[in-house]
A = this chain, B = another copy of it.
Amino acid sequence: MFSYKPKLKHVIEAKQFSDRKLLEEMFDRAEYMERKDKKNKLPQSLKGKRVASFFYEESTRTRFSFETAVLALGGKVVSTDKASQFSSVAKGETLEDTIRILSSYFHAIVMRHNIKGSAKIASTYSEVPIINAGDGEGEHPTQALLDVYTIKKEIGRIDDFSIAMVGDLKYGRTIHSLTYLLESHKNVKIYFVSPKTLSIPEEHIQSMIASKTQFEETENMEEALDKVDVLYMTRVQKERFPNQEEYDKVKDFYILDKDMLRKMKPEAIIMHPLPRIKEIDPKIDTDPRAAYFRQAKNGLYIRMALLDMILG
């Protein structure tokens, strides 16, 4: 079926998917998985494969979609969503030792960790693929993959479009991964919309200048609203703030409601990595441009495609 077998071991950061051929291969497989799933005929390509689902931070959609993807393709999962309170970790074991052990039991490790860079470190000690399911304020590469996949499905192209990223651009790892990934796409214009205290980190600015990616920074969402093909809203993440006061200052900065929706292009789409709190008025959910629930569902098929490429 899929003759091109790309070299893919660890999945640590979004830039690994700058290769267009690799990305298209993945999207083809994701579509294939969705078609097969509807017929209840998913390939059992992970048969005999064991995957550790090792989450130091809790998660609903990421852990659930990864585990569902493994199981649906015939693989086995052993799981924890509280790795940080986990016996050996709580007892003071290093990440290195934990990963060495897990990599001797499993064929791959899906890992979420609260510290940036931890997935990279884990990969240097693991005999088996590490899949980064979020490392603190670092990256969340599979989220970027499903985001771009969603853009492709919704607006029909992954080059030649404009996108506004709104909210917490400083700590938001989905933003970081998506920004890195979009740098390899042609003629993409990014509007970064955030309060100054939550603006996109300098390393991204430098990276975009080097890759000649067009971007603008603004505090005013309305400036970008009528210009973009994709409006990517994010939650201001309470858990990244030192205290309630700092959080309260910015939490309600950007809220998309029906009035603002009117200013958007009729063929634009609204995305959100979810969970949302108040950033998007639920009244918008029924608007055809509201793509965030379809986006979440795409995550399941992208993860199936990814696991199939790595372990299948």
- Which A residues form the contact surface with B (CB < 8 A)? 40, 42, 48, 50, 52, 57-65, 67-68, 71-72, 76-83, 85-94, 96-98, 100-102, 104-106, 235, 237-239, 274-277, 282, 293, 296-297, 300
Contacts and interface: CB of A to CB of B under 8 A. Distances in A.
Contacts of A68: 50, 76, 78, 105-106
Contact of A88 (B79, B83, B274, B297): B274
Contacts of A40: 48
What is the oligomeric copy number? 3
A102 to B, nearest CB: 7
A51 to B, nearest CB: 10
A101 B67 contact: no
B78 A300 contact: no
Which one of A237, A274, A275 has the greatest number of beta carbons of chain B within 10 Å? A275
Contact of A275 (B52, B59, B93): B93
A64 B274 contact: no
A155 to B, nearest CB: 20
Contacts of A60: 80, 83, 86-89, 93, 98, 101-102
Nearest to A298: B104
Nearest to A297: B104
Contact of A276 (B57, B72, B89, B97): B97
